Amino acid sequence: MLASSSTTQVVNGKTGLRARGVSPAKPATVKNTRTMHKLFKKKHGNPLTVDALPATTTTTLAVEPSTYSRRFVGDNTPALPQGTTLKLKQAVCYLPHPDKVHYGGEDAHFISDVYGGALGVADGVGGWQESGVNPADYSRMFMRMACAYLEGTEHFAQDGMDRSSAPFIDPRGALNAAHQTTKVPGSATACVMQLDQERQTLEAANLGDSGFVVIRSGKMVAKSKPLQHYFDCPLQFGAFPEFVEATDTADMADTYSIPLAPGDVVIAGSDGLWDNVFESEILALAPRSTDDVQRAADSIATLARQHAGDNDFPSPYTREALSQGLDLPWWEKLVGATFKGGRFQLKQLTGGKMDDITVLIAYVETAQAAPPAPASPQAAVPGDGPAGEAPAKA
């Protein structure tokens, strides 16, 4: 499921439509997990674990401008009363794939209160299982490192970056830092979002088919777009060159800056959400208050699981597949044909996509702004002693 910029060698670890016998009207995504063994040929004698990150790891944090950067106009965003700021009330619901519950599934996420709120989600590539690798190891460590970068914890506590004098807002840097420090077998898509209290914006960076929406007054005002090499094969991070021969990088991530106001709702998730739930359904279940955040996350995730297991549901996933020229074999279309309204109708591809489902919700609310930091006292001249006193004699 990794692609090089110079070649189109792709491994798709998703079972998706191929397991259901779907035939392409044009070239389709092919699951070729044997190639994963080639990518995994550089595996160490003993696979690394999450706790095996060396303390001396160095991180290259500079990235080039994003391929796609969108700043949303905030003319309708109300100004906050003096002395107040924004913060995020956050909740999450995670439902692993039913066949992967025993090891917790392959999605990972983080929620942090740093600078008013930050959150992220990653989706590990399941194809690594056939190489004897737990795909969750990569996604979990990636999220752990992204969160640590924003908070300035673990080995990022000594990375030389000043996180004390001003809010440290750098979601794409978090993707890059996590990519550079996640040195375990695997690969994953990832999305990181941060509240910028000073500018009253949501700052986000996304690579792959996880993503988010922003809702205001019951309407969707912003939405990330999935990044894919082709249908069902998203851009993704991998440990290069240790365990893969090619990887997508943080400079390929889309970045967003979206004005926020009290009452706005940010809903983020892995593709297990977006493949199974329509935007109108998400709007109907979005929280109406801070007391409703956890219920909304649970309800949306539950609906996604219901749709995923419904073979007759015309899901966003199968609708996109049809638009890409993928459909059922002709014999199955004929066997399932029906008469409706006096017309003969061939059976069409339907059904949800069973997957891990992660739903993160952040409700924007007001909070008391922190008082300004006191001015630093004027440095004393060496030997002057306390103010107003003569220097002490030797």
* Predicted confidence (pLDDT) per residue in 53-91, tens digit: 333 233 333 333 345 677 665 556 778 888 999 999 999
Compute CA distances 195 → 115, 119, 311, 352, 358, whole Å.
Answer: 7, 9, 39, 33, 20
Dig out the tokens for 68 from the structure.
Answer: 């796609």
Q: Any idea what the Cα angle at residue 69 is, between residues 287 and 249, rounded to 5°?
A: 100
Q: How far is 250 from 258, CA to CA, in rounded Å?
A: 20
Q: Look at residue 38 in the predicted model and tell me its pLDDT.
A: 38
Length of the chain: 394
The beta strand positions in 218-340, using DSSP E, are 219-223, 228-230, 233-234, 237-238, 254-259, 265-269, 326-327, 338-340
Query: Residue 358 and residue 124: Cα distance in Å, rounded?
Result: 12
The pLDDT value given to residue 375 = 57
Between the alpha carbon of residue 45 and those of residues 48, 118, 180, 239, 295, the distances in Å are 9, 37, 21, 16, 45
pLDDT tens track for 121-170: 999 999 898 889 999 999 999 999 999 999 999 989 877 776 766 689 99
The three-state secondary structure class of 258 is strand
Q: Compute the distance between CA of residue 300 and CA of residue 124 in angstroms, rounded to an integer.
A: 21
Q: Taking the alpha carbons of 143, 281, 222, 366 in that order, is the dihedral positive or negative? A: negative
Return all residues near 149 (Cβ < 8 A) that are at least 6 apart: 156, 170, 173, 174, 177, 178
> Which residues of the chain carry a pLDDT beneath 70?
1-68, 71-76, 162, 164-166, 330, 333, 372-394
* pLDDT given at position 113: 96
CA separation, residue 31 to residues 98, 189, 211, 388 (Å): 21, 17, 23, 79
Residues in a beta bridge with 182: none
By C-alpha distance, which of 184, 174, 103 is closest to 141?
A: 184
Domain covering 18-44+84-368: architecture:
4-Layer Sandwich (3.60)
